């Protein structure tokens, strides 16, 4: 029998209220069984597959899911012959249910032995700047933290953070600025620079932006913030953005394709400095540069009082040789900026 686990702000500090999960306050309470039904079906993509995977009776699982949707006052999945697809408007609710279920399991089996374990998601440019040295620094700190670093795209990081699969994320402010329910702590700024192959004689080390745009380009995909920032720079100069000869999903691919080519590409400056020192590329100064990228630590709003988040921020700042942050400033929305 499922243990009742009400979403009541007066009884449980972890979850403020049923309204936070999208409920209409009908008086009925969600139980752990309801949470499991929501999460299992979202992971298995069908009630039948969920019942098989988690060794549960299919009629009971279907009944619990229907009850959960009735309590919440909305359908969570689109049913079809292909299975159950989460409704776009229900994704945050499903993610919150997954996180709560994960945290409940953690309360039942607390692990207080050894250093605190943090699942830290990072965008690729952060992985190249901070790791692997930062993991060792965290393990050897006065209050050690055991990090599990996971590299994903910004959209994947956000989804996993909401679902509780990650404890924190280090990413670009522009990618997460409008996301509800997140706290952001500014860590440092990073510049994106133009680079060419070390043996490229067609492009001088210092050129105006108009001349540079005449060259062939390898650019990140249009969905990336780096590509959008580049096109804003070009349009602000009342110029036409170049059509890239190659589009890539990562700057690592861009660097690999740059070797021996006449192309220009964009990479984070710390990466450019490292590759330039190896004699593989050359940085190009232009009359206009891309705006610095704000790199922030993100975590969920319900983790605000967790001292480990502040400890993690302090470790990053110390590792980067940055001054300690003095105070906090709040954003206008529930997505806070510090």
Pair 148, 92 in one domain = no
Between CA 308 and CA 310 the distance in angstroms is 5
For residue 228, give the CATH number of its domain. 3.40.190.290
In a domain, 1, yes or no: no
pLDDT at 26 over 60: no
In a domain, 9, yes or no: no
β-pairing, 264-268 with 116-122? unpaired
* Segment 130-151, tens digit of pLDDT: 887 888 888 888 888 888 999 9
User: With b meaning 16 or more CB within 10 Å and e meaning fewer, what string describes 41-54?
Assistant: bbebebbebbbeee
Position 277 scores a pLDDT of 96
Determine the distance from the C-alpha atom of residue 324 to the mean position of all C-alpha atoms in its chain, rounded to a whole number: 24
Supply the range of the domain harboring residue 37. 18-108
| Nearest C-alpha neighbor of 58 from the set 21, 84, 26 | 84
In a domain, 12, yes or no: no
Please report which confidence band the pLDDT of residue 318 belongs to, taking 50, 70 and 90 as the band edges: confident
Position 283 scores a pLDDT of 98
Asked if 170 and 121 touch (Cβ cutoff 8 Å), the reply is: yes
Q: What's the rounded mean pLDDT across residues 258-274?
A: 96
In a domain, 8, yes or no: no
Between CA 278 and CA 272 the distance in angstroms is 10
Pair 75, 218 in one domain = no
pLDDT at 200 over 70: yes
Q: What's the rounded mean pLDDT across residues 231-237?
A: 94
Interacting residues of 57 by C-beta distance below 8 A, sequence separation 6+: 51
Pair 301, 251 in one domain = no
Between CA 188 and CA 186 the distance in angstroms is 6
Position 330 scores a pLDDT of 34
Pair 200, 281 in one domain = yes
**CB atoms near residue 88 (< 10 Å):** 8
Between CA 333 and CA 178 the distance in angstroms is 9
Pair 41, 22 in one domain = yes
């Amino acid at each position: 029998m499922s243990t009742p686990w009400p979403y009541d702000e007066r009884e449980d500090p972890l979850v403020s209220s049923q309204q936070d999960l999208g409920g209409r306050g009908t008086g009925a309470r969600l139980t752990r069984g309801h949470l499991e039904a929501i999460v299992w079906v979202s992971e298995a993509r069908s009630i039948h597959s969920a019942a098989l995977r988690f060794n549960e009776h299919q009629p009971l699982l279907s009944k619990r899911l229907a009850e959960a949707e009735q309590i919440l006052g909305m359908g969570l999945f689109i049913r079809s012959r292909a299975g159950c697809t989460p409704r776009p408007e229900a994704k945050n609710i499903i993610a919150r249910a997954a996180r709560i279920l994960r945290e409940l399991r953690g309360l039942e089996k607390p692990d207080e032995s050894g250093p605190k374990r943090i699942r830290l998601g990072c965008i690729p440019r952060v992985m190249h700047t901070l790791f692997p040295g930062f993991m060792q620094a965290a393990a050897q700190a006065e209050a050690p933290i055991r990090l599990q670093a996971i590299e994903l795209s910004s959209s994947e990081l956000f989804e996993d953070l909401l679902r509780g699969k990650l404890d924190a994320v280090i990413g670009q402010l522009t990618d997460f600025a409008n996301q509800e329910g997140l706290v952001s702590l500014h860590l440092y700024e990073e510049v994106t620079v133009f680079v060419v192959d070390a043996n490229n004689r067609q492009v001088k080390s210092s050129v105006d932006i108009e001349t540079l745009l005449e060259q062939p380009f390898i650019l990140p995909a249009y969905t990336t913030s780096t590509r959008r920032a580049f096109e804003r720079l070009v349009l602000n100069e009342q110029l036409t953005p170049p059509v890239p000869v190659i589009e890539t999903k990562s700057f690592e691919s861009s660097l690999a394709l740059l070797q021996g080519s006449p192309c220009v590409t964009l990479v984070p400056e710390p990466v450019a400095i490292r590759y330039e020192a190896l004699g593989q590329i050359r940085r190009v100064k232009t009359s206009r540069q891309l705006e610095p990228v704000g790199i922030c630590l993100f975590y969920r709003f319900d983790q605000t009082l967790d001292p480990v988040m502040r400890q993690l921020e302090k470790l990053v700042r110390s590792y980067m040789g940055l001054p300690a942050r003095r105070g906090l400033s709040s954003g206008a929305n529930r997505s806070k900026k510090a």
